[in-house]
Amino acid sequence: MKPTLKFDDWDQPALPASSGNRFGNTNEPRTVARSGPIADADNAINTVGTNSSLPPVDAEQKRVVNGQTDINQLAPFKYPWAWSFFLNANRNHWTPLEISMAQDVHDYQHKLTPAERHVFENVLAYLTTSDILAMRNIGLAVMEKMSAPELQIYQARQVYEEALHTWTYQHCIETLGIDQREIYNRYRVVPEIHGKIALANRRLHGVLQSARPLTDRDALHEFAMAYLFFAAVFEGSWFYNGFSPVFALQRRGLMKGTAEQLQYIMRDEVLHCAFGIRVVRQLLDEENLTLDPQALRQMWDEAEAAETAYAGYILRDPILGYNAGLHIEQFRFVANRRARQLGLSEPFSGAENVLPWLDEQANLRKEKNFFETRVTEYQTGGALVWE
């Protein structure tokens, strides 16, 4: 049976509700000495050549954060699903050089209208900066706070994939002959693009700080909110919906090479989002943590406002089959899906799926002439299983 990616299969029952203050039932912060993995590593070094030994790792003692088991010992797993994500991600290997861009060069130079070129270029301008931001957030902020190696090893693959996506956008820009200095600087000079990047930087800034240990409940809440924003909004909603304008061109036979590359990227991002949401749910459960409803409402409202301004700019002139209204409504619909997957209430009640073809871009399985282009179903090894 061919694997099919079903997005609503990720919806899971809500985690048990906590009572008390916003941090759940815990009356006092749990204080865990930072002597576990670090001390074990130091002891292992100090006991080389002696008869000393360390106790074996108990998988049940692993935690998403604040764990005290040896961070260097992969198995036994506590989170086998994280290892499955890693294996699936490695079946998705591809590079942008495998996809022909010849038709895109002709389309870009001779077929796109000024409005379509405006849309296409500004989508690329946003994406070029966003994936670098994603790479840095996972590589410099999130990974070092994870205390189970099976979580870190998937995120190491994710860091590579974000770099691969950046290469893909650069490959498109170079192939089409777009002014690199101009397009890469748009996020700095166009307020509507800058607004999304600035909001993401502000929301993720707290994660980059290492001065406050996550044994502090306020710091833990800040971390959970930041990682939730990254998984559910930045990657799960903005990225997922952000490729739609180019897919709208593809549906009319335009810029098909770029769109096919975005399909590959979208499949990677689907796994990134699913993994992040799974980790957040696990974290909330393990730490008995309840997210502040007001903080959640503010997060969704800020994300919607930034996306509305962005859509108004890139689609200031509608293109055939696509406009700013469709873009925003689809963002709201996707955001509701992410909230459900987190066990949270929908932030945009009544939002409609106005782009029913969008999910098909990740589900799509095409048979193609091997000598023309690579099959969209990219994988190596065994059958691909989607989480």
Q: If you write DSSP's letter for every residue of 29-76 in order, what string do you get?
A: PPP--TTSHHHHHHHHHHTTTSS---PPP-GGG--SSS--S-TT---S
Number of domains in the chain: 1
269 is in an annotated binding site: yes
3-state DSSP assignment of residue 158: helix
Structure-block tokens of residue 190: 């166009």
Taking only Cα atoms into account, the Rg of the chain, rounded to an integer number of angstroms, comes to 22
- pLDDT at residue 211, as a whole number: 63
3-state DSSP assignment of residue 330: helix
Q: Which residue, among 244, 249, 251, 232, has the nearest Cα to 326 in the 3D structure?
A: 244
Residue 198 maps to a domain: yes
- pLDDT at residue 25, as a whole number: 42
Using an 8 Å Cβ cutoff, are 63 and 220 in contact?
no
Residue 266 maps to a domain: yes
- pLDDT at residue 142, as a whole number: 81
8 is in an annotated binding site: no
Residue 34 maps to a domain: no
Q: Which residue, among 225, 238, 240, 230, has the nearest Cα to 344 in the 3D structure?
A: 225
307 is in an annotated binding site: no
Structure-block tokens of residue 28: 């006092």
60 is in an annotated binding site: no
Helices (H) and strands (E) in the chain, counts: 15, 0
Report the chain (387 residues): mean pLDDT per 10 consecutive residues.
Answer: 44 40 41 42 49 76 79 83 90 86 95 96 91 79 83 91 92 93 91 92 76 82 92 92 94 95 90 93 93 96 97 95 96 96 95 91 51 41 40
The residue behind tokens 């409940």 is 217
**What is the spatial distance between Cα 227 and Cα 279, in angstroms, rounded to a whole number?**
9
- pLDDT at residue 309, as a whole number: 97
Catalytic residues: 169
Residue 332 maps to a domain: yes
Residue 244 maps to a domain: yes
Residue 307 maps to a domain: yes
Q: Which residue, among 378, 344, 346, has the nearest Cα to 364 in the 3D structure?
A: 378
Residue 38 maps to a domain: no
- pLDDT at residue 120, as a whole number: 96
- pLDDT at residue 335, as a whole number: 96
What residues make up the domain containing 174?
Answer: 101-387
CATH number for the domain spanning 180: value is: 1.10.620.20
Does pTM top 0.85 for this prediction? no
Residue 53 maps to a domain: no
